[in-house]
Amino acid sequence: MKNQRSTVDNPVDTHIAEGERLIAQGNYDAAISEFRYALALQPHSARAHHGVADAHFLGGKDLDLAAQEYLKAIQLAPDSVGSYNNLGLIRQIRGDLVVARAAFSEASRLAPGWADPYINLARLYVQEDQMGKAVGCLARASRQVSGDPDVYNELGMIYGMQGKYQKAVKAFTKVIALDADNFLAHNNLGLVLYYQRKNQEALRELQRAVALDPESADARINLGLVYMAMHDWATAAYQFKCALEKEDTVSDAYAYLGECYIGMGQPQNAKKAFELATQLEPGHALAVQRLSELE
């Protein structure tokens, strides 16, 4: 008689698969239960320990327990790339940058074709104000993961922080070449072009960003800034009002709206807008200055 494959699923794998499905749905408590069932059956399952950690980490629950579970997964499966990466994120949150750096570095060594560890390591270097190392890290990533737009988006943002706008433009343009509908690249490219006073080009990129994500308050504010630079006060005011409909706690949007009202010769409306800005941020420099001028 030929050996027949059992049609009964491995119960450990079944619980783990169900836990992973529940995480994808955002049902973290139920996911933890499934992974715990799996561990009761097989205590040395790296995948189950990683699942418990993911549920706590992604669910914003117990970060320290998540870190412990990621460490258990790593001990059981030293090539557990995701565990190293997420452990690094937790240690970064906790301020342990040395361990975070080591975790991201190991993750990138184990999976050189995965962009996330490089990006996370670069962000850690930015946090430490080591911009050169951040750029170098992303340059390595661009060679290993040349087709990942996230790498170039991150690189563009760092160049923008450094005021290296030409390099930032080049990076964001690369993103758009890889992904024509990348909202973040269009939004950031538009802002960099605005900083370079290339208003018409900035307008094109930011209009595209708003079309891609009409709910983005950030894109609306950036678009409003360009219209302000062009002295199109009414259109700029409309964009700031749209932004405030999406997110009404942005002090800058109220201050910029106040500037538009001044440009349109409406000092009373301007005063109200600046007052709202200072209610949200009492030390808002622009709003405070303008209110003193309007007294």
How large is the average pLDDT for residues 184-208? 98
Round to whole Å and give the CA distance between 248 and 103.
39
Amino acid at 230: M
295 confidence band (pLDDT: 50, 70, 90): confident
How far from the centroid of its chain's Cα atoms is residue 211's Cα? 20
User: Is 190:205 a contact under the CB 8 Å cutoff?
Assistant: yes
Round to whole Å and give the CA distance between 288 and 280.
12
What digits encode the pLDDT tens for the residues 39-59? 999 999 999 999 999 999 999
How large is the average pLDDT for residues 181-204? 98
What digits encode the pLDDT tens for the residues 99-143? 999 999 999 999 999 999 999 999 999 999 999 999 999 999 999
Round the average pLDDT of the chain to a whole number and report it. Answer: 95
Q: In this predicted structure, what is the pLDDT of residue 218? A: 96
To the nearest whole percent, how much of the chain has pLDDT over 90?
Answer: 95
* CATH T-level assignment (fold) for domain 228-295: 1.25.40
Round to whole Å and give the CA distance between 258 and 215.
22
How large is the average pLDDT for residues 73-102? 97
pTM for the model? 0.85
How large is the average pLDDT for residues 78-91? 97
How large is the average pLDDT for residues 27-36? 97
For the chain, the domains span 228-295
**Which tokens is 286 given?**
């622009």
The secondary structure of residue 213, as a DSSP letter, is -
9 confidence band (pLDDT: 50, 70, 90): low
